[in-house]
Amino acid sequence: MSTSESQESRWKAEITRRLEQGDDLEFSIAQFAQAVGVLASDQALIAFLDGLVTSTTARKIEAYRCPVTLCSKVLPAGTITSCPYCHTDYQQEGEEIVVEYFYRLEGETSREIRWVIVIHGMNSRAPWQEEFSWQIANRLRYSAPVLIYKYGWATVDVLVSPFHRRLARQLGERIRIAIEQATESQRPPRPDIIAHSFGTRLFSLILEDSSFDDLKFGRIITAGSVVRPDFDWGRQIAAGRVEAVLNHVGAKDKAVPLAQYTIPGAGPGGTVGYAAKTVLNVRNADFGHSDFFVPENLRVLISNDGLWHSFLTHPLARFRPDGVFETDRGWKPASLLLRVLARTLGYTIFCFVGPFTWLRRKLDP
């Protein structure tokens, strides 16, 4: 590869990076030249940037800069006779405005994580909850409040559908209050959601409950999901209920495949993936059911280049992380007979153990 080809490859890589991350989409020749390590007068670089304009990858913008050395600010659009920053009168001082060209890449800008609601799995009081709040507060570039919803102890009662809906209604009401409080605090009304295991089931029930149609959400991450693969995420996205969905799958998850046999309405979304074309399914070859929240894994996921942080902040048009896969859209539930037998056994267990779990929640809610 010649030197010129090598340089152009670096320039293309830098453009791709900016488009993927949604950062530094607008720049001058001097700024881009500094980023790629060449002179701003490099004619090959100027030709490359003008080529982006020709291909409609970028727009060329004429801008005006204050000629005063100690100021040198870009001036507002319109006819300028004096600088609004250093207050120099150009006509009186005999100064001429400096004309400068900027390039604006045609792409989405990055977004901030403004606030997050975490819906955990069954009986989860693990250290990851505190770890998550700490990492969000300290590793990200901004302060993002984290609401971790705890619905108490759930054991054999997850075998009964009415219990699901009762918990989902409680969760929906709590989210509604949180959204109202966020709005009063001048935060966006749409929280991002991270849901794990049985928490994914509860969140899907909220989306299906017409009494919560007023609730709208940002980007959704499901981990170890027990939502059915054929859940209609596409309809939720098209209706504006959710912005986007990342389904993080653990290849070594042993719990999710059992969900459809034991939990009414559940399915193996956390192993098979979601069938909706608008969902991003990503598989981690090393993760089991709860490995997403092991502190060392969590730190990686929400670090600046981590999968979860990137999904929550980057433009998604070009977002294709390692492990992306498409699921079989012909998924069918397991045999009805097997599910009936498994749930009959579950209901029998519930009849015997249910009173003790009720007492357990009363003593330790």
> Chunked in runs of 10, what are the mean pLDDT values of the chain (365 residues)?
76 91 90 93 93 93 91 83 91 90 88 86 59 64 67 58 87 94 89 93 96 96 96 96 97 90 87 95 95 88 90 90 87 66 58 52 49
Q: Which two tokens stand for residue 259?
A: 């969900």
Ramachandran category for residue 22: left, alpha or beta (phi over 0 → left; psi -120 to 50 → alpha) = left
DSSP single-letter state for residue 306: S
**Strand, coil or helix: what is 118?**
strand
> What pLDDT does 272 receive?
93
> What pLDDT does 178 receive?
92
User: By the 8 A CB rule, do 269 and 282 touch?
Assistant: no
Cα 172 to Cα 121: distance, rounded to the nearest angstrom? 16
Among candidate residues 296, 343, 290, 364, the one with its CA nearest the CA of residue 121: 290
Where do the domains of the chain lie, and which CATH numbers do they carry?
3-105 (no CATH), 116-358 (3.40.50.1820)
Phi, psi (rounded to 5 degrees) for 168: -65, -40
User: By the 8 A CB rule, do 330 and 229 touch?
Assistant: no
Cα 331 to Cα 260: distance, rounded to the nearest angstrom? 13
Among candidate residues 191, 95, 89, 86, the one with its CA nearest the CA of residue 148: 191
Sign of the alpha-carbon torsion through 341, 343, 347, 348: positive
Among candidate residues 193, 204, 192, 218, the one with its CA nearest the CA of residue 168: 204
- What type of residue is 258? L
> What pLDDT does 156 receive?
55
In sequence order, the 6+-apart residues with CB closer than 8 A to the CB of 16 are 318
> What pLDDT does 358 receive?
47
